[in-house]
Amino acid sequence: MKGVILDSGSLHPADLSWTKLEATVSELQHFQQTTTDQLDQHLAGADIALSNKVVLDAATLSRHKNLKLIVVLATGTNNIDLEAAARLGIRVCNNVGYSTHSLVEHGLALMLALARKLPAYQHAVRQGAWQRSEQFCLLEPPIQQLAGSQLGIIGAGASGSGLAGVARAMGMNTVALESSRNAGDKEADLPRVSMAELLSSSDVISVHCPLTAKTRGLIGQAELRAMKTSALLINTARGGIVDEQALCDALRKGEIAGAALDVLSEEPPVNGNPLLDLYHPNLIITPHNAWGSQRARQALIDQSADIIEAFQRGKLKNCVNLSEE
């Protein structure tokens, strides 16, 4: 079987071991990146395609009759036309759980940085404000203490629940957004509440849900206005879930106190983004690397090998569009 990795450059391949994955196929071609113009050439003759963010739409899939399996080098599958793949008999399998610890650690770092006003204080020291101070310390802007405050989780999967567990260890109260999938979940440590209650009662809101038709624009102008003016918003999930122009306006008007995003609606943001043009003392943007510790990336490659090995044995692992026959 021939396999192709369409965008291995997105995984920083130099510090990874590819031995396990390469052993699963007779030939594995690595492409650092794949543009739209290169897609058909790179997929030519492939039985298995591995893609992180390269879009595989219905038209593309229909042209490549050899394709039997797509391994998504991520958890989110919004870059694959799942229905078209199912019609064509192509299995689509994603990777799950590989980056939970990395995401939780990054989310925690963002939450602490916002609450402690680290960007503002870093800037103040660089500008000489501490050096000129009459007191031994700077306490403006005021620092938020997270212990005793509430964290609201939107998307209580592995990373959302993991962050909630760390937050509880720090003395925070935690709630999660109710959904059809967890309506019957009675976990005492993470009670489910409505969106209205989560927005109005939470001091920190952290987004962990996938990007779907339902979640696109989930946090918009109305939702931001429903939050506390002292609230902090974190998004380590997907760009597009938060309306970026609405968030920009809310930060500028002081409708919320701060935000930290690891994702934007266009990545890389080659066409600009209103948040990148906004100077705000409590706005942090990181370049979609919350998931990317070395251990997480290696786990992703090794799990992908497990998916292919299972497929070759006639089994499906993490299949998102077709059931096992």
User: Which residues carry out catalysis?
Assistant: 238, 267, 288
Structure tokens at 266: 């266009």
The secondary element (H helix, E strand) that includes residue 244 is: helix 244-253
Residues 88 and 117 sit within 8 Å (Cβ to Cβ): no
Radius of gyration of the chain (CA): 22
Residues 33 and 75 sit within 8 Å (Cβ to Cβ): no
Residue of 60, 54, 63, 61 lying closest to 85 (CA atoms)? 61
CA distance 219 to 243: 6
Q: Sign of the CA dihedral 243, 245, 248, 253? A: negative
Give, in order, the Cα–Cα distances in Å from 179 to each of 10, 15, 150, 184, 218: 32, 39, 19, 9, 13
What are the residues whose beta carbons fall under 8 Å from the beta carbon of 277, sequence distance 6 or more? none
Structure tokens at 95: 């990777």
Query: What angle (nearest 5°) sits at the alpha carbon of residue 165, between those of residues 181 and 73?
Result: 60
